[in-house]
Amino acid sequence: MTILDDNQIKLLEEYASLLFTIDEIAILIKVDPASLRRDIRHGKNPVAEAYFKGKLETMVAVRKNIILFAKKGSPQAETFVKDYLDQQNN
């Protein structure tokens, strides 16, 4: 398991929220990309939690905007919302 200090965990979350790839994040926080990828895929550790938290926070912000635009009548946004609803119901 990759051992990251508090600052690296914080940066990992931030870079994940900016939708950098795992390899890009590994370079930025100076860790082995394969180890970081393995830890994230394992899913039950602080590294994976920071990665998914960052990524999901951006997804929340994007979806809020899409729903806002859908409510204002954007056909493209309405299509995204319909897809989100279909995913949620499966």
- Which carries the bigger pLDDT value, residue 1 or residue 63? 63
Which residue, among 62, 60, 78, has the nearest Cα to 70 in the 3D structure?
78
What's the confidence (pLDDT) of residue 1?
A: 80
Contact 50, 16 (CB under 8 A): yes
pLDDT tens for residues 12-46?
999 999 999 999 999 999 999 999 999 999 989 99
